[in-house]
Structure 1
Amino acid sequence: MRKLICRVGLLCVVLLGMMGKSFAQSFSVQRIGEGKQAIILIPGFACSGDVWNQTVDSLRSNYTCYILTMPGFAGTASEANPSFDNWTKQIADFIHNEKIEKPILIGHSMGGGLALNIASTQANLVKSIVVVDALPCLTAIYNPNFQSRKISDDEFAKAGAQLLGMGEEQFRRQAYISAVSLTTDSLRYDELVKWSLTSDRQTYAKMYYDYSNVDLRPAIKNISVPALVLLEHPFKKIAPIVEQQFGNQPNFRLEYAGKGLHFIMFDDWEWYIQQIMDFINN
């Protein structure tokens, strides 16, 4: 009887440990490299961690890279209630649980937003951040009067109904149109479309509307670590509006790519990787 109780108790401990790990790491993680300094790379909306492959090839010799793919995106298992705030907490918990000492965060698009949010809420957790083509509030660029507000589940359901109701072929066409608008590298189109098609549609819809409602402009003042922001070339045309969102913080350095679109790592590779190397090596 005593042995049975011990076995049941041990099973409970194991299951609780697995549950805790599952919550903390609902995103997928790939670790590459053995350098002392850790770098966590966070991809953007509906993207695989493979978006960082070329970047990691340049970093792996001197850094330990943790490449994430967020839950429900690009074939990764989805979770019940994805949200921008919950993903922020999960990444912070991952850093704590894995005892990763002062990592550098590199985030693209929504991943850049997550890096900004982590740095603004966890002041002592990270060494520095690199934000690749993300703004504190993208929606405000198109709607200057935008104000973030709490959106009910019913509103999310109604807003996402059109997206969720798309047939596979219509969704594929939309994903292809999106890919063409986000990179000048036509060889990447099929890959971007594949990531969208293998993303969980519920997660896709929920996170699209959730992230559209994010406004980190008030939080920027709380970021005290060095921050490099790499922006796509078209943003240079509205530089004063873009830079106003970052509040002229002295620890922020904003640089604009000389060519290309949203996927700067594809469209202006040499400039992009040189900017990152100069920043993280100083």
Structure 2
Amino acid sequence: MVKALAPLLAVLLAPPAAVPAAPTAVAAPAFVPTRFTVEVVGDGPDVILIPGLTASKDVWRGAVAAVPGYRYHLIQVSGFAGAPARGNKQGPVVEPLAEEIARYIRANRLRRPAVVGHSMGGTLALMLAARHPELVGKAMVVDMLPQPAELLGSSASGIRGLADMLESVSGTGFGQGLIDSAVRMFGNDAPVNVRSDRDVVARAAHELALTDLTPELPRIRAPLTVVYANPAPPLAATADGVYRRAYAADPAATLVRLDGSGHMVMADQPQRFAEELRRFLTP
């Protein structure tokens, strides 16, 4: 009897067979933007800061120091201010940049951050708010119109010939002079301009000149604040009229005029700008 049960007992008393290990989960690679880099500063609600044409992320340093209590994401556009061109080395710049910032917001699970953009950065803030309304909690545009050509007293259609010429000669000495002049007309500082990749600047300026986001303003659901410069206080009524007409499609937009300031509002009126940024970010 015992002999008959021996095979069964051997099976029952045998050590359990090794269980194959479960396959190790491979984490999806983190999203690494190519059209910009990011420096994250501080703690608190998320705020994305986007500089203008040719500019460095450092234009925001004073405002960040003056308005603590937030986690600031300082965007540095590839090809501007000495940064390698990377993903902006060829083709369009502005619209793909807006899409990559939107992807950055999603990839990092930022919960409806505030987006603040100066000049070209303001165009990007408008694009994000209009085209990805679910991602943007509130938006501030600093000294930029929905149709950037209006800053030069023209329109997207009226400036097309000049914009096309500027892009076509960007690699020549004459073209570099034209680009420098265009950047100065937009008000950015020459030292940063010199360090920027002029081909990237030319393509971005070409896109800006032909952009008109006016029809997209009604898509914006986030509260919108527009801070605009008025270098000559006697012309305040003119500046007010230009900005009121430009943003009429978003009647809820808050328009704030800063007298005595040039295009680089953060540098020209740092204390007043910090006050407006604090007011904008306060829940």
TM-score of the superposition, structure 1-length normalised?
0.78
Q: Residues 175 and 196 of structure 1 are in contact (CA less than 8 Å); yes or no, is this contact kept in structure 2? A: no
Provide the C-alpha distance between the structure 2 equivalents of 1:174 and 1:91, rounded to a whole number of angstroms.
27
Deviation of 1:166 after TM superposition, in Å, equals 1.7
Provide the C-alpha distance between the structure 2 equivalents of 1:95 and 1:251, rounded to a whole number of angstroms.
25
The amino acid of 1:26's aligned partner reads: R
- Counterpart in 1 of 2:203? 206
1:32 and 2:41 aligned: yes
Provide the C-alpha distance between the structure 2 equivalents of 1:222 and 1:82, rounded to a whole number of angstroms.
23
Deviations 1:214-242 (A, max 9, x none): 10000111111111100011473242232
1:76 to 71, 83, 107: 83
2:221 to 221, 224, 235: 224
Runs of 4+ in 1 over 3 A off after TM superposition: 140-149, 170-177
Q: Residues 109 and 133 of structure 1 are in contact (CA less than 8 Å); yes or no, is this contact kept in structure 2? A: yes
Structure 1 segments unaligned to the other structure (5+ residues): 1-9, 184-191
1:178 and 2:199 aligned: no
Bigger Cα Rg: 2
Alignment size in residue pairs: 251
Q: Residues 88 and 118 of structure 1 are in contact (CA less than 8 Å); yes or no, is this contact kept in structure 2? A: yes
Deviations 1:161-219 (A, max 9, x none): 44431279x7599479928x838xxxxxxxx3232122112101111111111100001
Provide the C-alpha distance between the structure 2 equivalents of 1:121 and 1:114, rounded to a whole number of angstroms.
10
- Counterpart in 2 of 1:5? none
1:272 and 2:280 aligned: no
Provide the C-alpha distance between the structure 1 equivalents of 2:130 and 2:46, rounded to a whole number of angstroms.
19
Q: Residues 166 and 179 of structure 2 are in contact (CA less than 8 Å); yes or no, is this contact kept in structure 1? A: no
Deviations 1:99-126 (A, max 9, x none): 1111100100000110011000111101
The amino acid of 1:17's aligned partner reads: P
- Counterpart in 2 of 1:4? none
Provide the C-alpha distance between the structure 1 equivalents of 2:179 and 2:150, rounded to a whole number of angstroms.
27
TM-score of the superposition, structure 2-length normalised?
0.78
Q: Residues 183 and 193 of structure 2 are in contact (CA less than 8 Å); yes or no, is this contact kept in structure 1? A: no
Map residues 1-282 of structure 1 onto 2, 5 A cutoff: 17=29, 21-22=31-32, 24-35=33-44, 37-59=45-67, 61-78=68-85, 79=88, 80-140=90-150, 142=152, 146-147=156-157, 156=164, 158-166=165-173, 171=177, 174=180, 178=184, 182=187, 192-234=189-231, 236=236, 237-247=238-248, 249-282=250-283
Provide the C-alpha distance between the structure 1 equivalents of 2:278 and 2:243, rounded to a whole number of angstroms.
24
Provide the C-alpha distance between the structure 1 equivalents of 2:158 and 2:132, rounded to a whole number of angstroms.
21
Q: Per the alignment, in what secondary structure is the counterpart of residue 111 of structure 1? A: helix
Residue range with higher mean Cα deviation, 40-49 or 246-255: 246-255
Against the structure 1 CA distance between its residues 171 and 111, is the aligned structure 2 distance closer, same or farther, given a 3 Å change threshold?
A: same
Deviations 1:233-265 (A, max 9, x none): 147324223211111524310011021210111
Q: Per the alignment, in what secondary structure is the counterpart of residue 45 of structure 1? A: coil
- Counterpart in 1 of 2:13? none
